[in-house]
Chain A
């Protein structure tokens, strides 16, 4: 793979993708002829596990890989650009390693996409016919863009060494790759947007405006949410890869490199994830403005307990990353000065987690609704958004402080105003924490509209302002600081790497669950309010059942990802052997 010529590599890529896609189309054609005609209302049934579960698993696997191959190129090209500008070979190497990862993952993405392509029209022919009738042209555009992306991706990868002298052009290729990836995401988000918040059609489903059907309430917010989440996810997978390589590394040099790669990827992942609540909020606002009932049903109805599950998962991720950063203090000369703060950060995280996990009372029957009312009599005050938003923001603030402590732990400021700087830092932390807490308490006495539209954004804004202020202050204060000692990359206990892998596993599970909730918001509709799902699967299963399917998808995905990791290592060995022979 890595040694092939540029043209040969691109041609190979095009042939491979055409073969995968072609095989899908042929299979679709043959199976359509072989299988029984669909039922009167337009369904075929997948053996044993049923059509819904089959599509659920295949779609989730395809989405996970798509998220990976769309997310990783963004920070690969960013690393390449920074490496180029700073003449840092290490950054160029990490960018190349990321590129290896997503180029290989493209094939698996295409295979999963092809299975999805065959499955949907076979199992849900009436629904797909309708979607093609409304959004057909976008599907052909999708194919064209996908081919463009394949060509640019292979060009970008295979020309890495050849275009070393023309780095600007190579970086431009990486940017183009990301533009095409974003375009693909825009197209697929339009499909999901139409299914969930349809527009551009009459109440009977007749097309009125194709642009209207594309430009739905959900379209852009969903795109933004996926775009950001893809970066978080892609970086998480890269961190898991680095952790895996660290664990099996044989030399100190390898350990040092993969330790650094794991740290960089994990920080990108968690850092970018700070944007998710903001874009998630935008998505929520659009869902509410499309249909308030759908919004409330999603946030507080049948899915209410899955938000508690989300809290368990994100809280776990925060604990894992904090644990990793606290362990990392050991490799920083001077890090021991900050050990004393860890217990306070731990307490904040623990309290935040406890509040976040407190469920809002969810009545599951008429009797229970009559008995308990809307809120739980004892824990109701902590189970509402006013408390949860506050707890989440404070937990994130604690996480940022863990990161800031790690970054500064091997430095000693030399500026004359260092003492005032430390005081200013404490003031920023206290003011922002008290402000977030105060706004949270005030949220209890205002209307839902003021809480959601005014106070929550201010709380989040205050947190972001504090982050930026701390970052600027630290950057100034530690400019030209005395270095106590360089980080001892590679000198990390193995358990730190398991924390990185745990982040990725948890995030994958979380993505599976949120994807299910997003699809489940449509309840028993293929296209909400327009096309009813009349199949036997037209219901939302129990949370336990959904957990089983999500677990299966997550494990299958991780198995396939580990095969990608293994293939990369195999290829590296082949390249090494060839070099040895030469």
Chain B
């Protein structure tokens, strides 16, 4: 009986240690920290604004959770590559400015859904994403830079952004 119980204890502890070892040795070890507010200086150059936007898109914005880099079968959200050019065309077709269209896509994404996709995106200026005005302008500039003409600046584009947030029913 004692031998059986001992074997049993070895199996229980051994299995637990095996799972622990897999968790420690085979899984990637990184933490997920709450995003920090990215400070964007007034008058920041367009190149820097795009660079900050890219960091947000691949980082705290969590955009790449749904979007993909290049178009591929079965993608659930439009690809980043060429999105600036696509958005310019869409804005023209809708009869609004490219700036209004790109901001609307971020703060009021349900308003216009690209054909073939579903209404799954939540606004970026409200929780849980909670991007600041400067961060939204940086992301929008990055999106424009993907095949389109970058027309946004900080803080120059703030009034257009504020107008879109207001239209979305926010403050």
Q: Which A residues have a C-beta under 8 Å from some C-beta of B?
A: 203, 244, 247-248, 250, 288, 291-294, 296-297, 300-302, 305-306, 308-309, 312-313, 362-364, 366, 369-370, 373-375, 444-449, 451, 494, 498, 501-502, 505-506, 509, 523-525, 528-530, 538-544, 546-548, 550-551, 554-555, 558
Among B13, B22, B59, find the residue whose CB has the most chain A CB atoms closer than 10 A: B22
Which B71-103 residues sit within 8 Å CB-CB of chain A? Answer: 72-76
Q: Could you tell me if A292 and B122 are in contact, using CB atoms closer than 8 angstroms? A: yes
A547 contacts B20, CB within 8 Å? yes
CA gap between A250 and B58 in the complex, in Å = 63
Measured in the bound complex, the distance between the Cα atoms of B73 and A451 in whole Å is 12
Q: How far is the CA of A525 from the CA of B128 in the complex (A)?
A: 9
In the complex, A375→B72 CA distance in Å?
10
15 of the cross-chain contacts (CB-CB < 8 Å) are A203-B126, A203-B127, A248-B1, A288-B120, A293-B122, A301-B65, A364-B28, A366-B54, A505-B11, A506-B19, A509-B19, A523-B34, A525-B128, A530-B127, A548-B24
- B28 to A: closest C-beta gap in Å: 6
Given A362-B28, A366-B55, the answer on whether A547 and B65 have CB atoms closer than 8 Å is no
Contact B65 A293 (CB under 8 A): yes
**Shortest CB distance A503–B (Å):** 10
B interface residue count range (under 10 / 10 to 19 / 20 to 34 / 35 or more): 35 or more
Besides the contacts A309-B27, A528-B127, A558-B12, what 14 more A-B pairs have beta carbons closer than 8 Å? A203-B126, A248-B5, A292-B66, A293-B62, A302-B32, A309-B22, A369-B58, A447-B74, A447-B116, A448-B76, A502-B15, A529-B127, A540-B32, A542-B29
CB atoms of B127 and A373 under 8 A apart: no
CB <8 Å contact, A374 and B34: no
Chain A residues whose C-beta falls within 8 Å of the C-beta of B33 in the assembled complex:
524, 539
Beta-carbon contact of B23 and A539 below 8 Å: no
B15 near A369: Cβ-Cβ < 8 Å: no
Nearest Cβ in chain A — how far from B37, in angstroms?
Answer: 13
User: Which 4 residue pairs of A and B lie closest in terms of their CB atoms, listed nearest first?
Assistant: A547-B23, A529-B127, A292-B120, A540-B32
Contact residues in A for B5 (Cβ distance below 8 Å): 247-248
Q: Which residues of B contact A494 (CB under 8 A)?
A: 4, 7
Complex Cα gap A506–B17 (Å): 11
Number of A-B pairs, beta carbon distance below 8 Å? 153
Chain B residues 122-142 with CB under 8 Å of chain A are 122, 126-129
Q: B8 an interface residue at 8 Å Cβ cutoff?
A: yes
| Assembly CA distance A441 to B5 (angstroms) | 47
Residues of A within 8 A of B30 (CB): 364, 542
> Measured between alpha carbons, how far is A444 from B28 in the docked complex, in Å?
27
- List the A side residues contacting B122 at CB < 8 Å: 291-293
| Interface residue B113 (Cβ < 8 Å from any Cβ of A) | no
- Check A366/B58 contact, CB under 8 A, given A505-B15, A539-B34: yes
A interface majority secondary structure:
helix
Contacts of A501 in B (CB 8 A): 8, 11-12
Q: Which residues of A contact B19 (CB under 8 A)?
A: 309, 312-313, 506, 509, 547, 550-551
Q: Which residue of the partner chain, among B11, B22, B75, B127, contacts A502 with CB atoms under 8 Å?
A: B11
Contact string against A for B residues 24-53, beta-carbon threshold 8 Å, 1 for contact and 0 otherwise: 100111111110000000000000000000
- Let me know if A529 and B16 touch, CB within 8 A: no
Nearest Cβ distance between residue B91 and chain A, in whole angstroms? 24
Cβ of A453 to closest chain B Cβ, rounded Å = 10
Using CB atoms, name the residue of chain A closest to B9: A562
- Say which residue of A293, A312, A449 sits within 8 Å of B128 (CB atoms): A293
Nearest neighbor of B120 in chain A, beta-carbon distance? A292
A300→B15 contact, CB < 8 A: no
Is B149's CB within 8 Å of the partner chain A?
no
Question: B27 and A543: CB pair below 8 A?
Answer: yes
Q: When chains A and B are docked, how far (Å) is the Cα of A523 from the Cα of B128?
A: 10
Contact pick for A498, options B1, B11, B20, B28, CB 8 Å:
B11
CB neighbours (8 Å) of A509 from chain B are 15-16, 19
Q: Is the CB of B73 within 8 A of A444?
A: yes
- Which of B12, B59, B116 is within 8 Å of A366, CB to CB? B59
Residues of chain B contacted by A505 (CB below 8 angstroms): 11-12, 15-16
Distance of A550 Cα from B69 Cα, bound (Å) = 35
Closest CB-CB distance, B82 to chain A, in whole Å? 15
In the complex, what residues of B have CB within 8 A of residue A370's CB?
Answer: 69
Closest to B58 in A: A366
A299 to chain B minimum Cβ distance, whole angstroms, is: 10
Say whether B24 contacts A547, CB under 8 Å: yes
Compute how far the CA of A540 lies from the CA of B69 in the bound complex, rounded to whole angstroms: 26
On chain B, the residues within 8 Å of A540 by CB distance are 31-32
Q: Is the CB of B31 within 8 A of A542?
A: yes
- Whether, in the assembled complex, B158 has its beta carbon less than 8 Å from a beta carbon of chain A, the answer is no
Inter-subunit contact A449/B12 (CB<8 Å): no
Chain A's nearest CB lies how many Å from the CB of B61? 10
Query: Which one of B5, B29, B32, B118 has the greatest number of beta carbons of chain A within 10 Å?
Result: B32
Q: Nearest Cβ distance between residue A543 and chain B, in whole angstroms?
A: 4
Across the interface, name the chain B residue whose C-beta is closest to A546: B23
Bound together, the chains give a CA A292 to CA B23 distance in angstroms of: 27
Decide yes or no: A448 and B75 within 8 Å by CB, A362-B28, A494-B4, A544-B24 being known contacts. Answer: yes
The answer on a CB contact under 8 Å between B64 and A448 is no
Q: Which residue of B lies closest to A372 (CB)?
A: B69
Specify which chain B residues have a CB less than 8 angstroms from the CB of A363 in the assembled complex.
64
Report B-chain residues with C-beta under 8 Å of the C-beta of A309: 19, 22-23, 27
